[in-house]
Structure formats: C-alpha cells, structure tokens
Structure 1
Amino acid sequence: MLEDLFAQVRSRLSDEPKRPPEETYKCPRCRTVSPLSAFEAADHVCPHCNFHDRLDARSRLALTLDPDSFTESDAHMRSCNPINFPGYEKKQMVLRANTGLTDALVTGDGTIGGIPVTVAVMDPRYMMGSMGSVVGEKLTRVFEHATEQGLPVIVFTASGGARMQEGMVSLMQMAKTSGAVARHSAAGLLYITVLTDPTTGGVTASFASLGDIILAEPKVLIGFAGRRVIENTIRQRLPEDFQLAEHMLEQGFVDAIVPRRHMRRTLEQLLRLHGYGEVKA
C-alpha cells in the first residue's frame, strides 16, 4: 500500500512531460468510440461500422480529382437577404470567416483520370449545405457551362434542403436547377450524382434525384422529410434502415453504393464507359 502511495507521489513530482490523452471520434451511427487519428486516416470513415461521415468540399475535391487540376468558378458569389430575415447577414459573416467559403457550394472544372469534368460539391459546414439563391445560381451555371462545353457533370450532394432564411426564393431554386439539368440532358451529356450524408429536403426533391447515374456512400442518410415527421403522419413505425443508402438501393432509388476509397476509380470507369476520354488498353 505504501509502495503504491510513493509511486503516485513520484509520478506527480516527475519532470517527464505527460502525454496528452488521444482525441477520439464517436460514430453517430454505431456510437462506437475510436481514435480520431484512425478515423481521419480512413478519410472520415468509421472503422467499426463503415459509416461515411461528412467531408468538407475542399477535402472531397482533393480525394476525387486529379492533383492540381481543379479550377474554381464563381468563387466570390454571395447571397443577399432577399426576405430580410433577422440575423441572416451576421450568421453568414461568421460562417464565411469560419469555413473560408462564400456559400454552401463549391463549383469548377477539373479532371478525373485525365478526363475533363465539371464538378459541384456541397459543404455541410455552411448552414448544413442548405440551398439558397447562391447555391441554386452556381449549380445552374455549372450545367449551363457544361452544356456549352460538352462536359459531363458530377455533383456531390450534402444538404438539409432549401434554406428557410431565403423563403420562397430558396424554393424557386428547385425548378431553376432542374431546368438546367434537363437542358444538359437534352444535349446528350452525362450527369452523375453522388449522395453523401445527409441528402434531404428540396435538394433530394430536385437536382439530387435527376442524375443519369445516382451513386451513394455507405450508410448515409437520404430522404425528403425526416423520420419523425413521416411516422407521425402515417402513424406507423418505419424500418430501422429507412432512408439509409442501403435501403434506397433496395428500393431502386440509388444505382450503386460506392465506398469513398473507390469513388475516384468508379467515376473514371463510368466516364470512360460513356465515351469520355481515351479508352485505356
């Protein structure tokens, strides 16, 4: 007993620096705690249940496109306050400072396996990737540009839906973006949607559902209204996997579930299959 006491006193008086406790990550799906380093090394994928957690837009672009191939478009476009929503300007100022973004969508051109593509990536850090006037306008310009240049479009969605702070203006973006997608499709060009966590609301009800090919990451949330709203409406208990990517695959809404580490290769294969780029021997 005295030896244990002396050992504790020696450890307190020791000049050796103490190692700080390792940061941890708690998975929102399986609730398992893992070392943060392991989670980050796996590109923000839970090492226990394979849930693909959220990525910021810049990290997504780095994982998807060829190195140093991305050229951003409309980077300085900012939203005003169309319905004079209280505190909206201040909230956006804080988000711009914290994220380095001007809104919830990053767009531009790049290459995948040397194949030119136009890409749009939603960033959930900016008002949960909600779609306001800037998101709608930037996405519309993406499809207009791709239609003019004859380029395929790849969109990574991650959104809580239409942005309530812009009222009816945000809802109008559903029709606006859908029209741009239709014109791109009429030109015979390829549109691939990649659904990431979460893809919900007006984004799901518009351009996220219009891809010629719809991919999804494992175990991500996909839907329109929330589980609680639906259960209260229909007075029934929904399946546990309701609105998860795996359930959406079974129902035919999603064409394939692709792990993050295979996404770049899968996109390149799909592009080549549809006649983009030179066919490799």
Structure 2
Amino acid sequence: MSWLNRVRNSLGFGAEKSSTEKDLWIKCPNCQEMLFVSDYEENLHVCPKCGHHGRIDADTRLSLLLDEGFELLPIPEVTEDPLKFKDSKKYTDRLKAARAKSPHADAFVTGSGTINGKAAVVGVQDFSFMGGSMGMAVGEAFCQGAQKALDRKCAFIVVTASGGARMQEGILGLMQMPRATIMTRRLKAAGLPYIVLLTDPTSGGVMAAYAMLGDIHIAEPGATLAFTGRRVIEETIRQKLPDDFQTSEYYSKHGMVDMIVPRKELKERLATVLDFLQPADEAA
C-alpha cells in the first residue's frame, strides 16, 4: 500500500464518500434521475421527476393506508422446509437470510384497523422478502387476515407484490391458491368487500389466484402485472406484444383493472370505496 493510500485510509476519505453517496442519493430506476433520498422518501418513494412508483416494504405500506393505532397480526407458524429443499443453497438458509433483513418472519403482513375511520383489515405482500413468494406462511397469513375481516364484519384489502409461488415448497406452495380462493368466496358469501391493490410486480401464481379475484381491482401507476414472462408469450403466439403490455395501464384499458390510483391518493380513494361498499352499520 502506498503512503498516499495509507493517509487516505487513516483520514477516512473513502468511507466518508461512500457513506455520503449511499445515504443522500438514490437513482430512479425509470428515468435515471439522481434524487435526494430525503425528497424521495417524503414523496412516498415516488420519483418527483417521472412519477415512477418505487417498491416499499410492508410496514411502510400499512402505515400509509391504515389510521394510527392499527393492530399488527402475528404471522402464523407453519412447518418450515417441509420438502427439505436445496438448490444452490438450503431453503432454511434462504429463510434465515431473508429474516435477517426483515422485521417479519415471512412475506405477508396483516394489519387490522381503520381507513379514515372505516373498519378494514389490510394484508400486504413484501417483495423484499424472497420476492414476496407465496408459500405456506403466506397462504396461512392470507387466510388469517380474511378470517379477521369475517370476524370484524369489515372489508379485506390485499396489497399484492410477488413473483409467484415459492418454488422451495413445491405443490404445498401452489395449494395456497385454492385455499385463498375459498376465503375470498367466504367473504363474498358474507357480503363483505374484498379489494385488491396491485403493485409492482405482481405475477405468477399470485396473479393467477387472489390478485384477480377482488370485487374491485386498484393498481398503482406503471406496475408490472403478469402471469408469465413477455418473451414466453411472444414465442408462444409468435407475435410482437405492445410496449405497454403487462402494465397497469394496459390492464385498465382492457377492463382487468378498475382504476389506477397514485400512491398519494390511495388512502382517500380506498376510504371512498369503503363508503360505497361497506355501510357504517355493518362495520365493526
């Protein structure tokens, strides 16, 4: 090591620069604009230049949608690694790594409270936890949230963000699709609203199941919504797909999404929807 590098290291120049860049700036993945982290977070993780809606974690999402004082439901305990699965890593090691970066034990977090005074249970998938993948814990948490809504006689709102079923749990992960479907039917039979908020990205088995079973489907602008990949579809039908294919805007244009709502307006819009779908005397 040269004397110049030794001096730089002793003074901490390199560490200070790296820390400053990391803490103060973030690059928008859509327009590549460099943004102050403080401005980005104050704007609810939405780029002020191009309107790109960044991904947010479950706790941030719940705090944006629910009134203060909501109850956080415990994530249900399930059998871990039932298939003793191993690819390049053991499934148990992947779970440990994901939990080390998250305050929660799995990818689906549920809050029970109110939205502008209207009773609601909100379940949120966190894409940062193993891509929001749907395994037994996610399925059980979904069912728990739906049951809480049934008990409270209020709406169940699910915010989706997932790459699909969790491959490390195989058929047990896929079985969460019919389990969740049954709970949505129970909500319907009870006359309770089931509302889906589609966020970036929602795909695979989640898109094929409870993400598309809502009474009302709301999406954030520019979200990627897909069952399977664009390339696979193009090779199958041998046609070039539109540039906006598999986006919120495309789904809205073709009747699969009821409304596209910017993040800043979501809480008010959900409160308005609940006013229509959930009379005051039915809320608990």
1:125 has 2:128 as partner: yes
Instruction: Tell me what 1:241 maps to.
Output: 244
Instruction: Tell me what 1:30 maps to.
Output: 31
1:84 has 2:84 as partner: yes
Instruction: Tell me what 1:65 maps to.
Output: 66
**Further displaced range: 22-31 or 200-209:** 22-31
Task: Report the residue type matching 2:77 in the other structure.
Answer: M
CA contact (8 A) 1:51 1:220 kept: no
Instruction: Tell me what 1:146 maps to.
Output: 149
Q: Which structure has the larger Rg over C-alpha atoms?
A: 1
Q: Cα offset for 1:277?
A: 3.1
Aligned mates of 1:27, 1:236 — CA distance in 2: 31
**CA 1:198/1:182 → structure 2, altered by over 3 Å: closer, same or farther?**
same
1:190 has 2:193 as partner: yes
Q: Cα offset for 1:93?
A: 1.1
- Aligned pairs for 1:103-114 (under 5 A) are 103-114=106-117
Aligned mates of 2:48, 2:235 — CA distance in 1: 34
**Further displaced range: 47-56 or 245-254:** 47-56
CA contact (8 A) 2:26 2:34 kept: yes
Q: Cα offset for 1:145?
A: 2.6
* Secondary structure of the structure 2 residue equivalent to 1:99: coil
**CA 1:213/1:25 → structure 2, altered by over 3 Å: closer, same or farther?**
same
Instruction: Tell me what 2:171 maps to.
Output: 168
Aligned mates of 1:135, 1:75 — CA distance in 2: 8
Instruction: Tell me what 2:4 maps to.
Output: none
> After TM superposition, which residue ranges in structure 1, 4 or more long, deviate above 4 angstroms?
18-22
Q: Cα offset for 1:78?
A: 4.9
TM-score (norm 1): 0.88
Q: Cα offset for 1:149?
A: 2.8
1:222 has 2:221 as partner: no
CA contact (8 A) 2:159 2:199 kept: yes
**CA 1:151/1:258 → structure 2, altered by over 3 Å: closer, same or farther?**
same
Q: Cα offset for 1:250?
A: 0.1
Q: Cα offset for 1:98?
A: 1.2
* Secondary structure of the structure 2 residue equivalent to 1:61: helix
**CA 1:26/1:238 → structure 2, altered by over 3 Å: closer, same or farther?**
farther
List runs of 5+ in structure 1 lacking aligned partners.
1-17
* Secondary structure of the structure 1 residue equivalent to 2:225: coil
Task: Report the residue type matching 2:30 in the other structure.
Answer: R
Aligned mates of 1:48, 1:238 — CA distance in 2: 28
**CA 1:85/1:109 → structure 2, altered by over 3 Å: closer, same or farther?**
same
**CA 1:27/1:231 → structure 2, altered by over 3 Å: closer, same or farther?**
farther
Task: Report the residue type matching 2:147 in the other structure.
Answer: E
* Secondary structure of the structure 1 residue equivalent to 2:224: coil
Task: Report the residue type matching 1:83 in the other structure.
Answer: L
Task: Report the residue type matching 1:261 in the other structure.
Answer: K
**CA 1:205/1:94 → structure 2, altered by over 3 Å: closer, same or farther?**
same
* Secondary structure of the structure 2 residue equivalent to 1:38: helix
CA contact (8 A) 2:154 2:278 kept: no
**CA 1:242/1:79 → structure 2, altered by over 3 Å: closer, same or farther?**
farther
* Secondary structure of the structure 2 residue equivalent to 1:214: strand
List runs of 5+ in structure 2 lacking aligned partners.
1-15
Q: Cα offset for 1:48?
A: 2.1
Q: Cα offset for 1:76?
A: 5.4
Aligned mates of 1:80, 1:160 — CA distance in 2: 20
Aligned mates of 2:220, 2:188 — CA distance in 1: 24
Aligned-pair Cα RMSD in Å: 1.7
Q: Deviations over 1:236-280 (max 9, x none)?
A: 2211111110111001000000110000100111111123337xx
Q: Deviations over 1:94-133 (max 9, x none)?
A: 2112111100000131111111111101111100100000
Aligned mates of 1:152, 1:236 — CA distance in 2: 41
Instruction: Tell me what 2:55 maps to.
Output: 54
Matched positions, count:
260
Aligned mates of 1:113, 1:199 — CA distance in 2: 27
Q: Deviations over 1:143-180 (max 9, x none)?
A: 12322331111110000000001001011110110011
